[in-house]
Amino acid sequence: MKSARIIYHLARADFLERVRRYSFLVMLGLVVFLGYQTAIGNLALELGLYRGEFNSAWVGAMMSLIATFFIGWFGFYLVKGSVARDRETGVGQIMATTPLTRPLYLIGKSLSNFAVLMSMVTVLALGAIAIQFLQGENTQINLFAFLSPFIFIVIPLMMLVAVSAVLFESVPFLQGGFGNIVYFFAFILFLPLFMENSTLKQYPAFEPTGLGILAREMGKAVTAIYPEYNGDFSLGGGFVTATKVFIWNGVQWTREIIVARLSLVGLSILLIFFAALFFDRFDPSRSKPKRMKNNASPSALEIVSTFQAVSTPHLTPLNKAANRFSFFNVLMAEIKLLLKGQRWWWYIVMAGIIIACLVSPSAAVREFALPIAWVWPILIWSAIGNREIHNNVQQMTFSSASPLLRQLPAQWLAGFIVTLLVSIGAIIRLIVDGDTAGLLALLSGAFFIPSLALASGVWSGTSKLFEILYMLIWYLGPLNKLMALDYIGSHGNGRPEFFIPFSIVLILLAFTGRARQIRT
């Protein structure tokens, strides 16, 4: 009972702290926007040319898929960071002095994450009821058919996502931006792996998002009425318009399916104890100490008396040359800060990408080499605009002379120069091949990347927002041929007529946000 009480109060305090943040309100607003897009038909569940009648089963299944996909994907980034916040604020060090064990602490954090995610799921569920009445095809509410997808599909996945966020914060090399990128790729690559693998496809109930089991059950219902159904299944909008309606009464929840879904909860519990093996419990002695070089010989060590008289200090006034501002020096310092901490192997990989751009034809450079080159430095770009807050030096930086007109332009220009440096091989190849359209797309993309990083970093105060937005744009645009987001020009002209003005707007937003930070 004592352990349960500790977990409850820990989870409750952390949950209340989360819901008072602006990021939580923004995420709730995005969830409401998802519900609105579903209500007006821009986001829909369709099986090729067929869709289900808007009854409780269909609406519940559709909204549960939207919840698992969008909240399961992006909700991870919202809840990740609670352990790091305890570490930065000193709360964790206070907890380390108590008898609170590592598993109990991680269980409390996981439950807090779960509560935050489920609060957003609840908003979608309420929106689903409104959608059913607005469509008016079937206004009779069947609570079990409506709630069962949320109970057996959404809840186990949200628990897994909540625990995964704690796991990533416990494993040292997954705590930062690298872990954010790993989760992004793991989520988008897991679905096609599970849905297309012949062995895994035989066990759809184990697929975490529930896409496999719903596709199978809905496919059975539509095939019984329309034998010509070809197996298409999509969750989105703008692809096809369903013209034929069928009645679907929901999943037949057998004992095997329920056990398979609840196994995700068991997996989550195991992951908590696995994370406890890596969690340092805010004890600095568990981290490997850095070896400090000491060039002084033992004989050179002397004991200095602490009773020496303190002389009166005399401050020498700065001369005019010391007060002179040099934008070049600030720019070089910003470039060094961006590149600081990169290991030798990072530069080896970057050199290999540059060489690949030099020896490949321009078409291959635009489609393959340049997208790789412009995702490799993402952790460098993500530090633009938020380094001051991350390192807690904003008081000194913002109180310096003209930080808005001196330091912020240098940050953007440093990011722009680094972007050009990593793409120098592609620039040379495009010039040699006379690919003017590709070169213009590259320059507009190089203009866009630091602008997005600067605006995201200034307004969010973290690197997380840029990492999420950029990876999403990079994945949908250059990789999946969504022309509206193809800022690189991998499959077109890169739309410089849009990205250059949009980048200017982002820069203005960054200046506005920094001016607000300086005033407050």
Predicted local confidence at residue 310, as pLDDT: 57
Q: How far is Cα of residue 173 from the mean position of the Cα atoms in its chain?
A: 16
Query: pLDDT-derived band of residue 7, with 50, 70 and 90 as boundaries?
Result: confident
Q: Are 158 and 72 in contact, with CB atoms under 8 Å apart?
A: yes
**Does any domain span residue 162?**
yes
Range of the domain at 475: 329-519
Residues 350 and 236 in one domain: no
Q: Are 154 and 65 in contact, with CB atoms under 8 Å apart?
A: no
Pick the last residue of a domain from 283, 298, 317: 283
Say yes or no to pLDDT of 222 above 80.
yes
Residues 369 and 264 in one domain: no
Query: Which residue from 55, 74, 63 is spatially nearest to 125, judged by alpha carbons?
Result: 63
The total number of structural domains that make up the chain: 2
Say yes or no to pLDDT of 326 above 90.
no
**Does any domain span residue 324?**
no
| Contacts of 147 by beta carbon, 8 Å cutoff, 6+ apart | 60, 125
Residue/partner pairs of 90-99 with CB below 8 Å, 24 or more apart: 92/282, 93/282, 95/282, 96/281, 96/282, 96/283
The overall average pLDDT reported for the chain is: 85
Residues 375 and 261 in one domain: no
Say yes or no to pLDDT of 128 above 80.
yes
**CA-CA distance, 222 to 298, in Å (whole number)?**
84
- 169: number of Cβ within 10 Å: 26
Q: Look up residue 169 and give its two tokens.
A: 């914060």
Predicted local confidence at residue 498, as pLDDT: 94
Residues 124 and 200 in one domain: yes
**CA-CA distance, 148 to 332, in Å (whole number)?**
58
**Does any domain span residue 408?**
yes
Residues 489 and 365 in one domain: yes
CA 219, 224, 229 angle in degrees (round to 5)?
A: 55
**Does any domain span residue 239?**
yes
Residues 277 and 334 in one domain: no
Predicted local confidence at residue 309, as pLDDT: 56
Residues 268 and 341 in one domain: no
Q: Which of 72-81, 147-156, 177-186, 196-205 has the highest mean pLDDT?
A: 147-156
Residues 218 and 72 in one domain: yes
What percent of the chain has pLDDT above 90?
36
Q: Of 37-51, 107-121, 326-340, 477-491, which range is least confident?
A: 37-51
**What is the rounded radius of gyration, in angstroms, for the C-alpha atoms of the chain?**
27
**pLDDT tens column, 140-189:** 889 999 999 999 999 999 999 999 999 999 998 888 888 888 898 888 87
**Does any domain span residue 177?**
yes
Q: Are 10 and 103 in contact, with CB atoms under 8 Å apart?
A: no
Pairing of strands 244-246, 50-52: parallel
Predicted local confidence at residue 42, as pLDDT: 77
Beta bridge partners of 245: 51
Burial of 456 (0-12, 13-18, 19+ CB in 10 A): buried
Instruction: Output phi, psi for 115, to 5 deg.
Output: -65, -40
Pick the last residue of a domain from 226, 261, 283: 283
Residues 371 and 243 in one domain: no
Say yes or no to pLDDT of 322 above 70.
no
Q: Are 458 and 514 in contact, with CB atoms under 8 Å apart?
A: yes
Residues 342 and 275 in one domain: no
Query: pLDDT-derived band of residue 316, with 50, 70 and 90 as boundaries?
Result: low
User: What mean pLDDT is predicted for residues 337-353?
Assistant: 89
**pLDDT tens column, 373-395:** 999 999 899 999 888 887 788 88
Q: Which helix (H) or strand (E) holds 446?
A: helix 436-460
Using N-to-C axis directions, what is the helix angle for 72-79 and 464-474, rounded to 10°? 160
Q: Of 153-162, 310-319, 338-347, 371-380, which range is least confident?
A: 310-319
Query: pLDDT-derived band of residue 263, with 50, 70 and 90 as boundaries?
Result: very high
Pick the last residue of a domain from 283, 314, 347: 283
Residues 120 and 220 in one domain: yes
Residues 229 and 360 in one domain: no
Q: Of 59-68, 127-136, 200-209, which range is least confident?
A: 200-209
CA 114, 189, 467 angle in degrees (round to 5)?
A: 65
Predicted local confidence at residue 296, as pLDDT: 47
**CA-CA distance, 297 to 299, in Å (whole number)?**
5
What percent of the chain has pLDDT above 70?
89
**CA-CA distance, 377 to 347, in Å (whole number)?**
10
Q: Are 210 and 149 in contact, with CB atoms under 8 Å apart?
A: yes
**Does any domain span residue 233?**
yes
Q: Are 247 and 77 in contact, with CB atoms under 8 Å apart?
A: no
- Taken as a whole, the chain contains a residue count of 520
**Does any domain span residue 36?**
yes
Q: How far is Cα of residue 511 from the mean position of the Cα atoms in its chain?
A: 24
**Does any domain span residue 309?**
no
User: What mean pLDDT is predicted for residues 353-367?
Assistant: 90
Say yes or no to pLDDT of 239 above 50.
no
Predicted local confidence at residue 298, as pLDDT: 47
Predicted local confidence at residue 301, as pLDDT: 44
Q: Of 8-17, 150-159, 237-246, 390-399, which range is least confident?
A: 237-246
Q: Of 76-90, 229-243, 249-263, 384-398, which range is least confident?
A: 229-243
Q: Look up residue 403 and give its two tokens.
A: 């930080």
